Chain A
Amino acid sequence: MKRIDCLKVLAGITRENDLVVTNLGNTPHEWQSVRPSRANLYGMNLGECTPVALGLALALPNRRVIALDGDGNLLLNLASLADTAYHNPANLRILVFDNQAYESPGGMPTATAHGVDLVQIAKGCGIHKSFTAATIEDFAEKIKLFEEDGFCFLVAKIETGTIERPPYASLDYKYNKYIFTTYIEETEKKPVLRLRSRSPFTEK
């Protein structure tokens, strides 16, 4: 099963106002190719994809938040599964692409290549709606759980490999910050950046 095929299926059920947080590596490029949107927050570094998605979900409980994490990224901060289970945000969905490898830095195996089962860990943390999909047909069925109410966790067992990338990226992550925050300001009708037009040092 290829990640890009899973992402195409996911894009088919993603609503326009769903907020999607991705990890680093190949996922953000593939996701941008199938669902370009101001509602995407790309490029969370190792161990930070699920925590950032949790914070976003807690801040905006009326918006659905989808985290696109990876096995290597999540393994660095496995305790984030425990904390996410504890807070149990009903609007959060976590999708982990498990290719059993640190693919971007060269392909060394992750712990999941040696039998570590992320779904069992999630269940042990108390995330009862935790599932694995190993084929694209299975994935297309399990991803429907994202449409149901409540926090859920899905691991997609994928092969390594990615789509061809253009030579230049269309955005960097700081630029993405401003795209995303202004999108939230517009759609939630509240300030996010809170930049100041005056300083207390010069106000009379």
Chain B
Amino acid sequence: MNVEASEAIVRGLKSAGVDLVAILPDHGFDRVQKRIAEDQSFTFVPVSNEGIGAGVCAGAFFGGKSPALMIPTSGLLVASWPLASLHNLWNIPLLLLIPFRGDVGDAQPVMRTYNFTTEPILRDLQIPYVIVREVAQVEGAIKDAVTSSFAWQNPICLLFTGETLR
């Protein structure tokens, strides 16, 4: 993810009121994750698998936090269990941030699978999502996602691709 998009994510999270970010390190989010780790305005929660991160975010919501889960594309598969058994069943808000590796234009062969899995899994989990392709979209997309996530008591996902990942 480029510098401009990374900075736009940090600004967007702050302006939307996100105050806890759980992460599993990801190449696409490397720069922004380091920025968030250094920023004292966020409770920064690195975890060992994405299912733990989803659980931590659910607990943080119950404690009054506005959480975000920032994970690799593959991590959606790992997180799908708590996203179904916790977030979907209980209607728990969550901002889910995922780089859309495997989108057309990605030249990494191992990412091809996620072209087939990412959007269908989000639809099956009843998680509305927005594909963010331009840096100029980032802040507004985060604000809208957090607004609807709490209003609907449901996770909302942003998939980053295009200009934001290059």
Contact = CB atoms under 8 A, between A and B. Distances in A.
Given A83-B47, A174-B89, A199-B151, A55 B62 contact: yes
Contacts, number: 136
A63 B150 CA distance: 24
Contacts of B52: 51, 54, 77, 79-80, 83
Interface of B: 20, 22, 43, 45-49, 51-67, 81-82, 85-86, 89-93, 144, 147, 150-151, 153
Given A80-B52, A181-B62, 17 more contacts: A44-B55, A45-B81, A47-B55, A48-B51, A51-B53, A52-B58, A52-B62, A55-B20, A55-B59, A57-B63, A60-B63, A77-B51, A83-B47, A83-B48, A83-B56, A191-B64, A200-B144
Interface of A: 21, 41, 44-48, 50-60, 63, 77, 79-80, 82-83, 86-87, 173-174, 177, 180-181, 184-185, 188, 190-196, 199-200
18 contacts: A46-B85, A47-B51, A50-B55, A52-B86, A55-B45, A55-B59, A55-B60, A55-B65, A57-B63, A59-B20, A59-B65, A77-B51, A173-B89, A173-B90, A180-B62, A193-B153, A199-B151, A200-B144
